Chain A
Amino acid sequence: MSRTDTPELDQGQQWQRLDPRMLLVHPVRELIRFLPAVIGVFLAGTASGNEVWHLVGVGVPIALGLLRYVTTSFRITAGRIELRRGLLERHVLSTPVDRVRTVDLTASPIHRALGLATVRIGTGASNEEEQLDLDSLPLARARELRLELLRVAPPTSAEPSEPAERVVVVLDPAWVRFAPFTSSGLVLAAGTLGVASQAMNTFGGWERLDTGGLVDGVAGLPWWTLAPTAFLGLVVLVTVLAVGGYVVANWGFALSHSDGAWHLRRGLLTTRETSLDDERLAGVSVCEPLALRVAGGARVSAIVTGLDRKQQGSGLLVPPAPRPVVLRVARDVLGTSGPVDAPLVGHGPRAHRRRFTRALAPVGAVLAATVLLVLVAGAPAWLLLVAAAGIPVALGLAADRARGLGHALVDDHLVARSGSLNRHRHALATDDVIGWTFRSTWFQRRAGLTSLSATTAGGRQAVTALDVPEPAAVGLAAAAVPGLVDQFTTQASVPARLA
């Protein structure tokens, strides 16, 4: 694609350095990173009575920080952005500006105190080494650079009428109530407990803690008091952590649109600003995990071409929030309401039956194994009850999964919905479909079903409609991208020319 570069980018710029204030940030960060080593060196120095060790301990991290400042520089020249870094091994990263998909501005508390921000330029390269990170620039310069980088993309036709920043949604503190319904609390709790027990282990806390007394005190209580108390304690811990995590990650969240790009801002301690070029926005995914759905919430993320799975975080458009808010934002981002609201075409009784067989088969196998264990190996009979309890759960899940199945083609968007524990409704612009995959196992073929995936260069790389009746799948693919699949159908009007 040939694009005319804006003049300001054509005058081969000089190599620019990062902000000198980084000299304050890098050494501090290096000191923290080397903290164990530094402490070790200090202890060694104190033990040997040699003051030089202290100087080495502080000096090396500071020198490393200085080196990074001196050896890192960047420039934008002739439509390319180049980053030069490294002392012994010189790296020059260079990428065309029109390949820039996203520009992220992040600022840790240290950065914020100094008025700095780190610029991360997303080019779609999945390689960690190829990341273009400018750490750091003054906040104003960082924003200016972001504008420069994103402006190179050709403006969309609707742009001139919308010069000002339009704020679409800001965080309502009441949304925090959805935090406990996400899995993040569990993850945080597990992490916290892991770190805590590790620390206890390292510092010999277990020995010092009066575990004997604790066990004696606890053992006196009957189990029906103990179990609910422990459970309640865990629930409270998870809830507190989930709410804390939500607040830290999403405080000050705002989504706005200006200059042909969507801008996201969030973060309590480390602030993060993400910009998504309009051109790169291929669609949205509305996610409703079961717990969140029951609570009346949802979240939505963008499918951004050139962002791979690892960078999914940058695509989150609205954190867990009330469903109406999420749907409004989804409509706004897509510029049309059809893909979000339109009723979906169900996948028919055979697809439903498959949901039930797939949910019941493993439960049935477990039940059969338990029966065998009880009859042959003489296992306690109450195990049967436990195994049988899986059946209603499986039935419920299967029914919900069957109800969730659906697809549609609305307003040039392919829409597919599936899942129960983690329900998704994906809407992908048909322009961004870069291929089709029809996948079917022997069982699916026997039922006349196929799973249709529209591959794309963003998000999870594909949007899949599960277990679609085959004719409907072919019809959908043919209608979404005319002239592609038609030539391979049995009713092709234009005979395919063989190579």
Chain B
Amino acid sequence: MPSLREPAQRVSPRARSMWLVGGLAQGAALLVAAVLAGLVWHWYDHAGWVLGALALGVTAYVAVVPAWRYRVHRWEVTDTAVYTQTGWWTCERRVAPMSRIQTVDYAEGPLARLFGLATVTVTTASAAGALEIAGLDRARARALVDELTLKADTDPGDAT
């Protein structure tokens, strides 16, 4: 019986830092919200417990998830297909044939820009089938967009 192997290429190692900072920022926002809520609803006697648990959760998340994500996130482009693997707890492997590609999207979020990274999104005519490669090195992402556009263009058909 055949089994699916992982895509060959990894994303930029800097993606780990990006996910780390993103997680920290979200965790900090959560903690601030909890502190504010504590001030408003006056649960001073439980505040230590709640904040401690939250901080522990955020720390665990930040310690584990970016590395886990980096290990999972992979991609590969051949002459006939695009193959990605994303997620951490829930993993998704997506394969799309080059002939069905409709758009190739290049995006730099504010955080990604800080680390010189970019996201390439490949969409097909199905709303359920977008392939996203996050955390690519900026230059690598640009080259990938050019390559995909060229390859998808040479394939005939209306991609539905």
**A471 in contact with B1 (CB, 8 Å):** yes
Residues of chain A from 411 to 439 with CB closer than 8 A to chain B in the complex: 432, 434-439
Query: Which of A27-35, A263-271, A344-352, A440-448 lies at the binding interface?
Result: A440-448
Task: Select which of A308, A435, A439, A491 is within 8 A of B96 by beta carbon.
Answer: A435
B12 at interface, CB cutoff 8 A: no
**B80 in contact with A487 (CB, 8 Å):** yes
Q: Mark A303-317, 1 if CB is under 8 A from B, else 0.
A: 001101000000000
Residues of chain B from 114 to 141 with CB closer than 8 A to chain A in the complex: 124-129, 131
A301 at interface, CB cutoff 8 A: no
Task: Select which of A471, A472, A485, A498 is within 8 A of B95 by beta carbon.
Answer: A485
In the assembled complex, the Cα of A35 lies from the Cα of B142 at a distance in Å of: 57
**B8 in contact with A457 (CB, 8 Å):** no
Residues of B with C-beta under 8 A to A487: 78, 80-81
B28 at interface, CB cutoff 8 A: no
Query: Which of B13-21, B48-56, B84-92, B105-113 lies at the binding interface?
Result: B84-92
Residues of A with C-beta under 8 A to B126: 434-435, 455-457, 461-462
**A481 in contact with B160 (CB, 8 Å):** no
- From residue A86, how far is it (CB to closest CB) to chain B in Å? 29
**B4 in contact with A498 (CB, 8 Å):** no
A15 at interface, CB cutoff 8 A: no
Interface size class of B (residues with CB under 8 A): 35 or more
Task: Select which of A457, A497, A498 is within 8 A of B160 by beta carbon.
Answer: A457
- From residue A83, how far is it (CB to closest CB) to chain B in Å? 22
B93 at interface, CB cutoff 8 A: yes
Residues of A with C-beta under 8 A to B5: 488-490
Number of A-B residue pairs with CB-CB distance less than 8 Å in the complex they form: 130
Known: A440-B90, A455-B126. A496 touches B1 (CB 8 A): no
Binding site for B on A (CB under 8 A): 1, 305-306, 308, 432, 434-442, 445, 453, 455-457, 460-462, 470-472, 474-475, 477-478, 481, 483-491, 496-499
Given contacts A462-B129, A486-B2, 17 further A-B contacts (CB under 8 A): A305-B160, A434-B96, A435-B124, A436-B96, A437-B94, A437-B129, A439-B93, A440-B90, A455-B126, A462-B126, A472-B1, A474-B3, A484-B80, A487-B81, A491-B2, A498-B78, A499-B144
29 sampled A-B residue pairs with Cβ under 8 A:
A1-B157, A306-B160, A432-B160, A434-B96, A434-B97, A435-B95, A436-B95, A437-B92, A440-B91, A442-B90, A455-B124, A457-B124, A457-B126, A471-B2, A472-B1, A474-B1, A474-B2, A474-B3, A478-B2, A484-B80, A484-B81, A487-B81, A488-B5, A488-B81, A489-B4, A490-B5, A491-B2, A498-B8, A499-B144
Closest 8 CB pairs of A and B: A471-B1, A455-B129, A457-B125, A461-B128, A455-B126, A499-B77, A435-B96, A462-B128
Binding site for A on B (CB under 8 A): 1-5, 7-9, 76-81, 83, 89-97, 100, 124-129, 131, 144, 147, 156-160
